[in-house]
Amino acid sequence: MKKALSVAVAALILTLSVPAAAQSSTFNLGRGLDIEYSILKSLARSYVDTIDYTKMITKGVEAMLETLDPYTVYIPEEATDNFAMMTTGNYGGCGALIRKRTDGPVVIFEPYANSPAVKCGLEPGDEIWEIDGKTVVGETSDKATDRMKGQPGTDVKFKVFKGRTRDTVEVVLRRERIHISSIEYAAMIRDSIGFVAISGFTDKMTDELRKTVLRLKEQGARRLVIDLRDNGGGVMSEAVRMAGLFLPKGTLVVSSKGRDPKQNQEYRTTEEPIDTLIPILVMVNSSSASASEIFAGAMQDLDRGTIAGRRTYGKGLIQSVVPTPYNGNLKITTGKYYTPSGRCVQAIDYSHRNEDGSVGFVPDSLKKEFKTKNGRTVYDGGGITPDIEVKSAFYSRPTVALTYAGIPGDFSLEYYKTHPQIAPAAEFHLTDAEYEEFVAFASAKEFDARSGAEAVLDNLTQAAEQDGLYEQFKGEIEALKSKIKMDKSAMLRLKKAEILPILEADIVVKYYYPGSGTAIQLRVDKQLDGALDKWLNQ
């Protein structure tokens, strides 16, 4: 009795020493786990059919995490290779982008330069029908990709139908560690301006950028454009290292704050810069996120670079990776990051975003004012607002539909099969006759070629029918339809100026590897041209 009383008193003291909120949180957690375990136990004992517990529990975990922020996610063991590729740019495999329909072969779409695929003679348009003696027909793209990947140094055997010669051959490929460079394209533009397009922030990408910038300076670059448009970010430490190429050693680039005091840190440059004076223009858009915003925000706050384009995505959250049992990982949001002036670029509200996911309208009353190193005024509220705002390129509805359907890519494969070589990337142009070949090719494919006006009119017709008004206005509606309706061929010719650079870029990468298509896009990049004109005249 005395011992039981002592235990009860100890329990009471412990309860009184824990805050009520913590008690409630702990109780709710335990209650929830009890309920979940009870449900799983009942299903295991009584459910009529066989249960795939791995699938069900993974779905449950994913649904649970969806109640938090969009970036806290569970990465099961089977997805760890893809996660490693996103953070390091490395994976073990063949080194080629592929296309795959379930009822067809694996099609080599774009091999990487110096990859095992190139070394063993695989080319764009080649079709892989068997992997290690087993057909790929009936497999999903993911399944075929998994079989093509493997430990570096191991062999994989393909049965290949060659696109150019139409021969069927066996190819033995030795897998290697594939590195996908984050430096997508680099070249001189406008005589004395070096241009670098960066697709992501992977481990050690700053070492590549250092070499690239030094090479451009040797070629005469006296100004530098760093293009982070559509760069979704990556490893935060690389954003800090990248800023360190252009800022004095020891400069604060970003700070973080979180629930755990260990998250409250300052991140400063730790290496000697290569140039602290060269004028820099940083191009961004609504898809520039995370590490891109860290770099752009630091360059803006420290008045080291001019930011141009459109307001960035607004992701100011830091994720840490925590291992889970059975070789999985939990990518969990553990803090927010702040630019040198003290701004948090995280969008104030997850729910009010544009269609592309970027920051929606933020009232002035919710914005706070901050000052750059030289006293310029900048604001928080979500994303980095450019110093020079220039509209992004607009693509019409038919062009988007055409591209989404992959038709320019399909034509580029056919073009590659019948053209052994083409002019250098920056000089390549399709002839009018070749574009007409594309028009005939695309017109025979399935895609929604309606103009925006025609799509709106179709919706109007449907609404009129639902409201019982169609018969009353049928004459006017049908007359308008007949005036604006175009067949596919006419629409493809009308939108040639939009479609042609996309098509030419798709063809160029088949010959000169991924990234080379940027040379084509730069010829029609009105956003960059507009930003350069304003920057050079400041």
Report residue 329 as tokens: 């990982």
Task: Identify the H or E element spanning 223.
Answer: strand 223-227
Report how far residue 339's alpha carbon sits from residue 239's, in angstroms, rounded to the nearest whole number. 12
Among residues 315, 417, 488, 510, which one is catalytic?
Answer: 315
The percent of the chain in helix, strand and coil, each rounded to the nearest 5, is: 40, 20, 35
- Residues contacting 351, CB < 8 A, separation 6+: none
Distances in whole angstroms, Cα of residue 503 to Cα of each of 33, 437, 471, 496: 54, 12, 43, 10
Report how far residue 238's alpha carbon sits from residue 234's, in angstroms, rounded to the nearest whole number. 8
Specify whether the CB–CB gap between 490 and 399 falls below 8 A.
no
- Neighbour tally for 219: CB within 10 Å: 12
- Where are the chain's structural domains? 90-179, 183-317+336-389, 397-451+486-536
- Confidence (pLDDT) at 1: 40
Report residue 16 as tokens: 């009184």
396 has catalytic annotation: no
**496-512 and 432-443 are packed helices; what angle lies between their axes, rounded to 10 degrees?**
100
- Tell me, rounded to whole angstroms, the distance of Cα 32 from its chain centroid: 36
Q: Residues 183-317+336-389: name the CATH superfamily.
A: 2-enoyl-CoA Hydratase; Chain A, domain 1 (3.90.226.10)
Specify whether the CB–CB gap between 435 and 500 falls below 8 A.
yes
For residue 81, which of 165, 152, 23 has the smallest C-alpha distance?
Answer: 152
Q: Which residues does residue 117 pair with via DSSP β-bridges, in sequence order? A: none
Q: b/e for 406-427, b at 16 or more Cβ within 10 A?
A: ebbbbbbbebbbeeeebeebee
- Tell me, rounded to whole angstroms, the distance of Cα 151 from its chain centroid: 26
Please give the chain's pLDDT, 538 residues, in tens. Answer: 444 334 333 343 334 444 555 557 777 788 878 888 888 888 888 888 888 888 888 888 888 888 887 788 888 876 666 665 555 555 788 999 999 998 999 999 999 999 999 999 999 999 999 999 999 999 999 899 989 998 899 999 999 999 999 999 999 999 999 888 899 999 999 889 999 999 999 989 999 999 999 999 999 999 999 999 999 998 889 999 999 999 999 999 999 988 888 888 999 999 999 999 999 999 999 999 999 999 999 999 999 999 999 999 998 888 878 888 877 888 888 888 999 999 998 876 655 566 665 666 666 666 789 999 999 999 888 899 999 999 998 999 999 999 999 999 999 999 999 999 999 999 999 999 999 999 999 999 999 999 888 888 889 889 989 999 889 988 888 888 888 888 999 999 999 999 999 999 999 999 999 999 999 999 999 999 999 999 999 8
Among residues 301, 387, 410, 525, which one is catalytic?
Answer: 301
Number of residues that make up the chain? 538
Q: Write out the DSSP string of 435-469.
A: HHHHHHHHHTS------HHHHHHHHHHHHHHHTT-
For residue 297, which of 357, 341, 351, 238 has the smallest C-alpha distance?
Answer: 341
Give the count of alpha carbons within 13 A of 177, CB side only: 4
Specify whether the CB–CB gap between 159 and 129 falls below 8 A.
yes
301 has catalytic annotation: yes
Report how far residue 311's alpha carbon sits from residue 359's, in angstroms, rounded to the nearest whole number. 8
Report how far residue 195's alpha carbon sits from residue 321's, in angstroms, rounded to the nearest whole number. 34
Report how far residue 500's alpha carbon sits from residue 428's, in angstroms, rounded to the nearest whole number. 12
256 has catalytic annotation: no
- Confidence (pLDDT) at 237: 92
Report how far residue 76's alpha carbon sits from residue 281's, in angstroms, rounded to the nearest whole number. 40
- Neighbour tally for 259: CB within 10 Å: 9
- Confidence (pLDDT) at 2: 42
Global pTM? 0.84
Report residue 537 as tokens: 């005249």
3-class secondary structure, 408: helix
Select 90-179's CATH number: 3.40.50.300, 3.40.190.10, 2.30.42.10, 3.30.70.20: 2.30.42.10
Task: Identify the H or E element spanning 144.
Answer: helix 141-148
